[in-house]
Amino acid sequence: MTNKVKDKAGRVPAADPFGTADFERIFHPRRIVVAGVSSEGFSYGGALLKSLQAMGFEGEILPVNPRGGTFSGLPVFPSVEEIPGSVDFAVIAVAAKAVPAVLEVCRLKGAAGAEIMSSGFSETGTPEGKALENEIREIAARGIRVIGPNCFGIYCPRSGLTYLPNPDLPRESGPVAFLSQSGGMASDFANAGKWMGLRFSKTVSYGNGADLREAELLRYFREDGETGVIALYIEGVGDGDAFFRELRAAARKKPVVVLKGGLSEAGGRSVASHTASMGGSGRIWRSILRQAGAVQVEDMTEMAEACLAFSLLPKRAVRGISVTGGGGALGIAACDAAESMGIAVPPLGDGVRKEVLALLPRSGASAANPIDVANPYTPPETLKRILGIAAREDGIDLQIMVFLLHHFKHIALTEGKPIAEVVPCAAFADSMADVVRETGKPVCIVLPNTKRGIEDLDIVALHARARQAFLERGLPVFDEIRNALRAVGHMNRYYGGKEGNP
């Protein structure tokens, strides 16, 4: 134990809270220890090791278990000491009381960092748990940076590091960094991001945050060239002043999207037992985040959609939009949602309206904006022409195209073909990508699906395929118009557009 002065929460402060972590070796290790694999039954270490293999991690994996032997085709070292040479990073998934000793040896073996997946530390609320966590902090202060304990670790597409228990996350990198106090949220966000079209630079589930946590990670991601937008799930913060300072500095340089969990009384109580953090009232947090220039969201879907918009849309505010699709009620809903976000849906000028109207059926269509094409089977080429014309309006900065693909099931049934064969997904996607290229104005795709039952799983699959076709061409896709507009509203708040009341 230590003689150092403890802070109010009874924690030993780290020697240098903004120490010189070797993040390159932490995120892209060449030699990685996995301490706590077991060939008998399930073990977190073993599950993570297999996930690393499934991800195609190219570095050397060094499993450790006192019994030795082999695990998943690899020789198991009886202890970290017996690994020849130095190591870059360690995954520690042994029982809580054994963690400090393993961590210390990893430090002596030259590891730049370690992620501790084990639980049983300060989140238990027990003196034993807190003491163990203090031991970790002391070792960390001597030169090994710690992620966790009580976390899912790092997912880094470029190196193939992955969270427990995720063997199937994308290896493709992208602009989104994610810092999460919760392992479940980290895993959920990565999985949701996979099909929603988010691609990540580096992400960290830091759990109790005994050493590395929000403030220092914000500083790192602010300067990280791979990262264009930072998302953050926090339940509480370690050093409030440092957090605010780093948040504001990061938000000045790139969008920071924050989901704060535990704003309620009961939520705050749960935070204590989840990651041993202090919560805080909703009003105070809203004010802090606004002052720091961060974008606050209310749930994971909203966070993912905001990150999607920040990833794929031009870095500027949107004054007005066009909305094109089928159905009067959908158009009306779009207008209502847009107004609540402070986004205009300007009527098309006479000349433009007439040109658009000439491309539409005589009955049931409208070219006022929203543009009701009155026919779910409108060909891609026609849609391309409509959006090409509408883009000429000065007040329109972004176009929203709503596809109601479930209507194609009627054609599929009539023609006796699978629905995938009658929907020109690639042509729709090409036509929209052409619009963006030719007009210089972005297009958001909306794919609502009212048919999700057992007998309509072909329609569900079709939507997944259509989404992928649009995403492959760089077009963001949303489930509902409201969601697209909410994301655009966040862009406007960040880039200084007119502020609405979402």
Could you say which of 224, 339, 430, 434 contacts its own copies (CB under 8 A)?
339
Here the tokens at position 307 are 């990150």
- Regarding 71 and contact with its own copies (CB under 8 A), the answer is no
- Regarding 318 and contact with its own copies (CB under 8 A), the answer is no
What is residue 104's three-state secondary structure?
A: helix
Q: Nearer to its own copies by C-beta: 314 or 327?
A: 327
Q: Which ranges of 42-162 does DSSP label H, i.e. alpha helix? A: 44-55, 99-108, 127-141
Could you say which of 40, 350, 394, 455 contacts its own copies (CB under 8 A)?
455
Nearest to 334 by CA among 402, 277, 435, 425: 402
Binders in 362-401 for its own copies, by CB under 8 A: 363-364, 366, 368-370, 372
> Which strand (E) or helix (H) includes residue 61?
strand 60-64
Which conformational region is residue 364 in: left (phi greater than 0), alpha (psi within -120 to 50 degrees), or beta?
left
CB of 414 to its own copies, least distance (A): 10
**DSSP code, position 374:** S
Stretch that binds its own copies, among 5-13, 60-68, 419-427, 445-453 (CB under 8 A): 445-453
Site string for its own copies, 31-60 (x = CB under 8 A): ------------------------------
- Regarding 284 and contact with its own copies (CB under 8 A), the answer is no
Site string for its own copies, 343-362 (x = CB under 8 A): -xxxx---------------
Stretch that binds its own copies, among 213-221, 287-295, 427-435, 450-458 (CB under 8 A): 450-458
> Which strand (E) or helix (H) includes residue 372?
strand 371-372
Residue carrying structure tokens 């994308």: 170
Residue 89 CA to its chain's centroid (Å)? 24
Single-letter code of the amino acid located at 439: T
Instruction: Kindly list the distances between the CA atom of residue 285 and the CA atoms of 235, 264, 281, 282, 301, in Å, as whole numbers in the listed order.
Output: 11, 11, 6, 5, 20
What is residue 458's three-state secondary structure?
A: helix
Site string for its own copies, 182-221 (x = CB under 8 A): x-xx-xxx-xx-xx--------------------------
- Regarding 267 and contact with its own copies (CB under 8 A), the answer is yes
- Regarding 332 and contact with its own copies (CB under 8 A), the answer is yes
CB of 339 to its own copies, least distance (A): 3
CB of 182 to its own copies, least distance (A): 4
Could you say which of 199, 274, 384, 473 contacts its own copies (CB under 8 A)?
274
CB of 410 to its own copies, least distance (A): 6
- Regarding 329 and contact with its own copies (CB under 8 A), the answer is yes
For 66-102, b/e burial (b = at least 16 CB within 10 A) is eeeeebeeeebbeebeebeeebbbbbbbbebeebbeb
CB of 194 to its own copies, least distance (A): 6
